[in-house]
Structure 1
């Protein structure tokens, strides 16, 4: 068992911290806010604490920045930045805390329209995009998924849809574009600001077992110190099955699945 203070201590020795969530887990969202605040309280004087988010896409970075600087209203920010449906309850507290404390927020993800392109037409389809559009993605060609990640993904997809191999391969390529682009967004910040301490929020599958976005980051920033925190919602959250959970992250936090979901 680990204490919150041990997690904060480990964060201080890291460059990029991945907080993997179930998107509808209210307890995980509360925990993320606490971790973000405690990280800033502990290290904000000496490190540039940055929030990075799967929930915003790279082409809205300017809009995010304008809101953080109070140049535009929250209504116009939300009108134009394509926030997730659960933004108000689940992610707004993080963004508002960053705004109050003048912390940067990275809109880390690949635009969904291009991820959708790859899932329909395969990874080579994005080569047809304009140079302007390609700026919103990881540098092309982006890396292939690792064998371990592909195996995990194929196992998940097989159980979801009976696994048409050709379409699953395209969906895996689109998932990997997500991973690579989020990783590249984090790597850019680490390269341009060596003193950054980046808290990145994403769906847990993207970083479980230090795969996906976490392993893609090490392709761009081989020396980055990465910490993976995975939050899992379980009915019997008081029982920690080491064999089942230990490899999911450097820290694995079980939350109570009986707590009402933050959205349906």
Structure 2
């Protein structure tokens, strides 16, 4: 309940969304407390902030199409007013140069893909976002921590990063990176308890610290860019767990850049995408955008 109140308060501050709806509601799009809301209200709210988080389930193809729709609408509405930036969990900070070279047309796509370690579903789900941003002159950020360092934390704990070279540390936020909040910790531990690992011995604390490294690195990437370009509007695409309840990456961003204006949009599969279920959806984001759930839908 406390989280929901915080969400509703932040939501009203950012965009005044709880005002009477005078436009037709977008199917499946709701406010934090479940009120149907129009597409135009979403765009108005996005224009009032510095970072728009789009939290997804990675295999939700409908969500990816909707993300592209968001980019297209922001380009049309704000492209002449503000620098627009696409930030992606799906690329790691050590391939930023490669991403920049491709964005600038210095290397062909085949070389970009060979060097950038794209996710297996890149062509279907993320390429349309990158190509749209590239075609319209957006900056594109490789926001995430290199997975080899995340794996090191998962195996050995956060202190193991101290052994890295200065060059390697340059791909990470300043060490030691912030601890996850107590609420995020409880949420993560509860999730891990619900996951079966068979006979594997899992160090939940190391897993949590690895998760926190992802959150901290993405948040630091956003904060760094806003320091360089404070007038920018950044759209950050990431897994929903990293942003639900404004925990995870948004919390870390507030630590690195207090006062950053942000909007959290959670795209969540649902058996009935036109029905807001308070037990499942309340307070997940400033907006919750429900998508049709495939029969084999899994948690992000």
With normalisation by structure 2, the TM-score equals: 0.84
Q: Which residue of 2 aligns with 1:135?
A: 170
Q: Which residue of 2 aligns with 1:12?
A: 47
For 1:230, the equivalent position in structure 2 comes to 266
Q: CA deviation at 1:161?
A: 3.2
Separation (CA, whole Å) in 2 of partners of 1:58 and 1:130:
16
Q: How far off its partner does 1:205 sit?
A: 0.3
User: Cα offset for 1:152?
Assistant: 0.5
| 1:108 and 2:129 are equivalent in the alignment | no
CA distance in 2, matches of 1:162, 1:202: 24
Could you state the TM-score of these two structures normalised by the residue count of structure 1? Answer: 0.96
- Could you tell me how far 1:238 is from its partner in structure 2? 2.1
Counterpart for residue 258 of structure 1? 294
Question: Counterparts of 1:21 and 1:90 in 2: how far apart (Å)?
Answer: 11
User: 1:217 maps to which residue?
Assistant: 253
What displacement does 1:162 show?
Answer: 6.5
Task: From the CA coordinates, give the structure whose radius of gyration is larger.
Answer: 2
C-alpha distance in 2 between matches for 1:63 and 1:166: 35
Backbone CA RMSD of aligned residues: 1.6
Whether the aligned pair in 2 keeps the contact of 1:55 and 1:109 (CA below 8 Å) is yes
Tell me the CA shift for residue 8 of structure 1: 0.6
1:1-264 matches, cutoff 5 A: 1-161=36-196, 167-258=203-294
Greater share of helix: 1
Please state how far the C-alpha of 1:31 moved relative to its aligned partner.
0.4
**Once the 2 structures are TM-superposed, how far is the Cα of residue 260 of structure 1 from its aligned partner?**
8.7
Unaligned runs of 5+ in 1: none
